[in-house]
Amino acid sequence: MAASANGGQNIGSSNVRVRGNSFTMEGRVALAWAIFRHPNDPVIYREDSLRLGRGTDFFTYTFHVPEAGCNFVNVAAWDSNSGDTPANALSVNH
């Protein structure tokens, strides 16, 4: 089963929660997100990674969107152990 970011939601106060499953146990998950404000504004990119615990193939990750006035956020998560690429983008209305 391919690893994926399978859920996301705006949880208020400019915080976005992302969930994913089927990642390598005890491996690293890389995350990247792009923040979109208006068509004429530059896109703002952020990235991070996390390590999964023993026997765990899923994650829940929450991040803060500090930029005011953004319309939506695109999020991608990929399994860095298996060499996957961030092909499972997830849009979250903000």
pLDDT digits (tens, 9 = 90+) for 23-53: 888 888 888 888 887 778 888 888 899 999 9
> Residue type at 6?
N
> What CA–CA distance (Å, rounded) separates 81 from 90?
21
The model's pLDDT over 10-25, given as tens digits with 9 standing for 90+, comes to 555 678 888 888 888 8
Q: Render the chain in DSSP notation, one character per residue.
A: ---EEEEEEE-STTEEEEEEESPPTT-EEEEEEEEE--TTSPPEEEEEEEEPPTT---EEEEEE--STT--EEEEEEEETTTT--S---EEEE-
Can you give the pLDDT at residue 5?
54
Neighbours of 18 (CB within 10 A): 22
Rounded to whole angstroms, the Cα distance separating 42 from 62 reads 23
